[in-house]
Amino acid sequence: MLNLLSYLISNSARPVTQRKSAGKTSTLASLAIVCAATISLVLAVPQSAHAQFFFGQNKVQYSSFDWKVMTTEHFKIYYYEEEEYLAQMGARIAEDSYAMLTKKFNHEVRRTVPLIIYSDPLFFSQTNTTSGFIGESTGGFTEFFKGRMVVPFIGSYADFDHVIRHELVHVFMLSKLSSVQRGQRTTRTGLPPLWFVEGLAEHWSTSWNTQGDMLVRDMVVSGRILGIEDFRKVWGTFYMYKFGQSVCEFIEKEYGADKITMILENWWKGKRLRDVVFLTLGVTLDEVSRKWVYSLKKKYYPLISEADMPNQVGHKLTSRGFSVKGVPIMYDNGDGLKEWIVYKGNKLGYSTLNMMSGSGEGSGVRTILKGERSADFESLHLMRSGIDATDDGLLVFSSKASESDAMYLLDIDTRKVRQQYRFKDIVSIHSPRFSPDGKRIVFSGVDRSGKSDIFLVEVGDTTYQRLTNDYYQDLDPVFAKSGSAVLFASDRGPWGDRGAKDIYSYSLENDQLTALTTNKFTDRSPEPSDSGYYFVSNRDGASNVYFCRTDAVDNHQELFAGARQISDVTIDSTYRADDESEDGGAHRTDSAGAIDGEMSSSEEFVQVTDLLTGVFDPRISPSNGDLIYTGYQNFGFQVYRQGIDNQDEKNIVSVSEFRSGVLKPVSGEEPDNDAKATEYWRPGVIAAESVTSDVSYATDYSLDIAQSTVSFDPVFGTQGGVQALMTDVLGNHAFYGFISNTARTKDDILTSFNLGLSYFNLERRVNWGFGGFHTFNEFSNVVDGYYFERSVGGFGQLRYPISRYSRIETSVFARHRDKDQFLRGIRRRSFLVSHFVSYVSDNSLWEATGPIDGHRINLTVGVTAAVDEGQFNDVLAMADIRNYKRLGRNSAFATRIFGYTSGGIDPRRIYHGGSWSFRGFDRRQWYVPNVVFISNELRFPLVNHILLGLPIGNLGFNSIRGAFFYDTGAAWENNYPGFIGSFGAGLRMGFGGLFAFRFDWSYRHDYKTIEKSPNFDFFFGWNF
């Protein structure tokens, strides 16, 4: 439906700043943390077993790639063999964009920029260049540490051009601001606000388009205009991108084309963007905001007289969250045959497949499938892929399942999967549709090289037929009513390199491909009817539904009176290499000119809807012919129903508007009857002489982080140290090292070093690492008192992710330990070998203060042998099971069951008590080897947002949550003391996903009496 415009409720593309969703650590970051935590565990440094990062989901390397590196004048392009053509395209786009941006920024980037390309978003989601998870809405990103641009190819040349240019704007901006600040030798100024960073990237990478217009129109017409000062409300979302783009465009238009560049040049002169804006433009940022808002009103208010909003002319069938891709069917669920609508939704954070009455959710909603909680349904591609259903109650949809997409046939009644389709060579599957007889399915698929084509499969058969095979993006396939042709949208037309899409018909009888529309606009989502076909087009500025009344959808010979079938046109131009034209290097025909041949007299185009915002995925109701569609309004997508009249004479649109292209291909070859060979434009690739080298990838390391700290403890004295992380360009290999010293006197310096070096390999599915360490420090606990401990040894780790949601990990430590309890005169030297195995499962969904849905499980067993003594030193077993039962949007009932036991000569004790575990009791009240603990908590929202207007400025508090809890458990050394408990209430407040404050008020009891005085706890940390 909308390539970049998806998941508006979630974090969208975050190319510049690196932000992780709380709790969802993965790959390198979690490995490092686990390494550090495990080392501490092994070394008996007292750890709370209720550590905050014990769980986490997995970024699974399902695919292995044979990477190569192509070097051009300004870039190093990393690609794998299957996508070599994409790499050449990307190189060309990158160099062209570089030349353009050099002039925009008045700046040269003085380093070679790494550009890493993936041929599909599913491969892109596996990248280790960032430790965070990449949402489906992320179109690419640029990261700070190594200045890498990482982009996926999503099937469209125009989108590929856009995303590379967008990310390159970030590279230029970072380089420019760094240069400007370095020149002034100032470090006080940070980056501009995110809306400006992303807005400028959009503004200088693409022109204002229908997507952006839709968002802004809706914002203005719905009366919820956000000024620049309110952009924080849409921070990180696609709205922010487009609003930012609109502001940047306005600044250039209103104040001068030079002003954005001048703002960057003047960046060092002010502490904040508003200071620099004032110096550069001579007006305040607030004034700019007012003028911008006013200009939007002037532009969009008059449109209300010409068009409508969806809820004014249609009936909104769904509410809350997002609901899209409605499919109406006539289905008998046992209560008689009536109309139902199957659709996709995301109301509470997880995507689901649902079913509602044809009159809307108010009559009842049934959830057919919950996605994003298990490996088979890891992502339902909410916005990107349509669904289909038969009147028999069979639903077809696609979902990410491990490495690639699978297509499922699901019984609506039993909610069971009848069949799963996986195709070895097809990575992504989108928008499957049944044939009229229900025996075949057609879908849009992407292969490993990135080609997006149309595929057909018989129901019950796992072999497929490939209908198209080229670098054009083919989408939204659907069978004609007769079943003898497939209609789909494609960018193979004359303006396809600029993102335009037309409707095509592919005859299954003679393999002929016919263009039904040919123009500069985006025509998509064809929907056949008995007398023609519906489709969506943005030719009037918004996506609206049109109807083509024709009897020629299946009869290709009658569609055109002239020579307009693609296989019949004559060639009048030859292929040109290195086209220097402004259209980004695509080789193309000359534009304009009338279509040759006469129009079919039976053809007529009618505009069916005239909405201000947008209409998508139209379907026709089988019960009364209403239009069922996804409409955009009030910052969201919902399913609508609208009566239509496609006989309305006044809405007739000239046929020539839909056939304005010259159907003459670029290729210099004579076309044969195989229409697939015909090209109208070809993506430009980098000239061979511009490539300075093209070799296999050799691991290329550079420093990511180096940081040092110095600390002073009144008991343990001063400590200081350095840690550093070095990874390769692809993020698959990492070296982590630390060194510190804990000496009290200079005589101790040499013997008091703590150092460690470890290596992690994330290249394949099994992640592994090893390392060595030497540590020496003084410790203290209530059991051992004060003691020195020196450890020298090494470790190895293996982690096998079963899926995104679960994994098995194991680690082995071997060390020589010298533990000196000097005050007691006890000293023990031993060679210890430890082995731990854990099973971790985590499909939790987080909100501002902690998990709110799903579950988290960690089961760990371990044994440590004192090899030189020939005996076990300790054994341990731990189970931490947490479940979150969703009650509402921001409410849940959370349960935690925790058990820990350790035995042996020197059992491993853990701390227990405090805000993170047993509330009402002191933090670390117990230090014992046996703990049983159960916690129950009802979490609910209190206040979403408070803004205090103070004289010095506004102070805002977000996401204030409440909780009622009941904790109970026992902790003991040798003698089981019986259960005690606490109950109470709490407040939580999240801070932008970084951390949460917590306040608990509780009463303790021993099941006999309740203490009279309450306990108060104020601390930080996520909910369990």
Residues making contact with other proteins (CB under 8 A): 99, 102-103, 106-108, 110, 179, 182-185, 256-259, 262, 268-270, 279-280, 282
Q: Which is nearer to other proteins, 187 or 305 (CB)?
A: 187
Tell me the CA distances in angstroms from 59 to 125, 397, 476, 765, 803, one per residue in order. Answer: 8, 24, 30, 9, 8
Residue position matching structure tokens 């019949």 = 568
Burial bucket for residue 406 (CB in 10 Å: 0-12, 13-18, 19+): buried
Structure tokens at 274: 């508003």
Cα within 13 Å of Cα(602), Cβ side: 13
CB of 265 to other proteins, least distance (A): 9
CB of 101 to other proteins, least distance (A): 9
Residue position matching structure tokens 């045959």 = 337
Structure tokens at 273: 């963007």
Nearest C-alpha neighbor of 767 from the set 809, 792, 798, 731: 798
Q: Which is nearer to other proteins, 273 or 457 (CB)?
A: 273
Supply the DSSP symbol for 236. T
CB of 251 to other proteins, least distance (A): 12
Q: Which is nearer to other proteins, 112 or 184 (CB)?
A: 184
Residues 6 or more apart in contact with residue 1018 via CB below 8 angstroms? 997, 998, 999
Q: Find how far residue 769's CA is from the centre of its chain.
A: 27
Q: Which amino acid, 339?
A: E
Structure tokens at 856: 């988290």
Q: Which is nearer to other proteins, 109 or 407 (CB)?
A: 109
Q: Which is nearer to other proteins, 109 or 151 (CB)?
A: 109
CB of 103 to other proteins, least distance (A): 4
CB of 326 to other proteins, least distance (A): 48
Q: Which is nearer to other proteins, 153 or 204 (CB)?
A: 204
CB of 182 to other proteins, least distance (A): 7
CB of 269 to other proteins, least distance (A): 5
Residues 6 or more apart in contact with residue 594 via CB below 8 angstroms? 656
Q: Which is nearer to other proteins, 260 or 628 (CB)?
A: 260
Q: Which is nearer to other proteins, 105 or 534 (CB)?
A: 105
Q: Which is nearer to other proteins, 94 or 566 (CB)?
A: 94
Structure tokens at 72: 């051009």
CB of 258 to other proteins, least distance (A): 4
Residues 6 or more apart in contact with residue 285 via CB below 8 angstroms? 228, 229, 273, 274, 277, 278
CB of 270 to other proteins, least distance (A): 7
Are 450 and 457 within 8 A, CB to CB? Answer: no
Distance CA(644)–CA(633), nearest Å, equals: 19
CB-based burial, 800-824: b 16+ in 10 Å, e otherwise: ebbbbbbbebebbbbbebebbbeee
Are 493 and 515 within 8 A, CB to CB? Answer: yes
Q: Which is nearer to other proteins, 1 or 260 (CB)?
A: 260
Distance CA(147)–CA(144), nearest Å, equals: 5
CB of 236 to other proteins, least distance (A): 31
Are 500 and 491 within 8 A, CB to CB? Answer: yes
CB of 174 to other proteins, least distance (A): 16
Distance CA(715)–CA(732), nearest Å, equals: 41
Q: Which is nearer to other proteins, 259 or 828 (CB)?
A: 259
Q: Which is nearer to other proteins, 94 or 383 (CB)?
A: 94
> Which residues on adjacent β-strands are paired with residue 765?
none
260 φ, ψ (degrees, to nearest 5): -65, -45
Distance CA(394)–CA(411), nearest Å, equals: 5
CB of 92 to other proteins, least distance (A): 18
CB of 271 to other proteins, least distance (A): 9
Q: Which is nearer to other proteins, 254 or 778 (CB)?
A: 254
Q: Which is nearer to other proteins, 258 or 674 (CB)?
A: 258
Supply the DSSP symbol for 379. B
SS3 344: strand
Q: Which is nearer to other proteins, 108 or 648 (CB)?
A: 108
CB of 110 to other proteins, least distance (A): 7
Q: Find how far residue 330's CA is from the centre of its chain.
A: 35
CB of 718 to other proteins, least distance (A): 35
Residue position matching structure tokens 């009817």 = 529
181 φ, ψ (degrees, to nearest 5): -75, -35
Distance CA(663)–CA(681), nearest Å, equals: 11
CB-based burial, 66-83: b 16+ in 10 Å, e otherwise: ebbbbbbebbbbbbbebb
CB of 359 to other proteins, least distance (A): 56
Q: Which is nearer to other proteins, 690 or 958 (CB)?
A: 690
Distance CA(927)–CA(513), nearest Å, equals: 75
Are 851 and 881 within 8 A, CB to CB? Answer: no
Q: How many CB atoms lie within 10 A of CB 338?
A: 14
Strand order in the sheet with 315-316: 315-316, 636-642, 627-633, 614-620
- What residue ranges in 472-601 does DSSP mark as E strands? 474-479, 485-490, 502-507, 513-515, 523-529, 532-537, 544-549, 587-588
Q: Which is nearer to other proteins, 185 or 424 (CB)?
A: 185
CB of 183 to other proteins, least distance (A): 4
